Amino acid sequence: MARQYQPCIDSQVPSHIAKFTTFTADIDLRAQSGYPNHCPQRLILQNTTAGALNASVVDIAGHTTVVAIPANQSVTLDGAIATVAAATDDTVPAIYAFWWTDSATIINP
């Protein structure tokens, strides 16, 4: 079960990094096998296309935000993002999630 616990980003090097390149359903970032069961503390949305894209993300409190990603650029989100919504306007070519962990972190099986 996902928790609302979030360890602090206390170093420049994250403990876990995941890359998502295609998805047809929401990506629950707290339920990824082999990764912490809390939200990542940083998300990078990478656009490698010639046009601007939009992505919908849901924070830990359930608020949805549409993020504009300019052509051939990346957008970095710091904070507790729980889900990347599949109901986004566009398909984002690459999404990177970064988790920092501490001694209380639980890893999903």
pLDDT tens profile 32-89: 999 999 999 999 999 999 999 999 999 999 999 999 999 999 999 999 999 998 866 6
Count of domains in the chain? Answer: 1
pLDDT at res. 34: 95
Q: Answer yes or no: is 21 within a domain.
A: yes
> What number is the average pLDDT over the span 16-24?
85
Which domain does 23 fall in, by range?
Answer: 16-99
Categorize the per-residue pLDDT at 30 as very low, low, confident or very high, splitting at 50, 70 and 90: very high
Q: What is the CATH number of the domain that holds 35?
A: 2.60.120
Judge contact between 2 and 32, C-beta under 8 A: no
Expressed in angstroms, the distance from the first to the final Cα of the chain is: 11
Q: Answer yes or no: is 3 within a domain.
A: no
Categorize the per-residue pLDDT at 9 as very low, low, confident or very high, splitting at 50, 70 and 90: low
Distance CA 33, CA 56 (A): 22
Q: Answer yes or no: is 106 within a domain.
A: no
Q: Answer yes or no: is 91 within a domain.
A: yes
pTM (global) more than 0.85: no
Q: Answer yes or no: is 9 within a domain.
A: no
Judge contact between 93 and 47, C-beta under 8 A: yes
Sheet of 16-20: strand order equals 16-20, 94-99, 42-46, 74-78
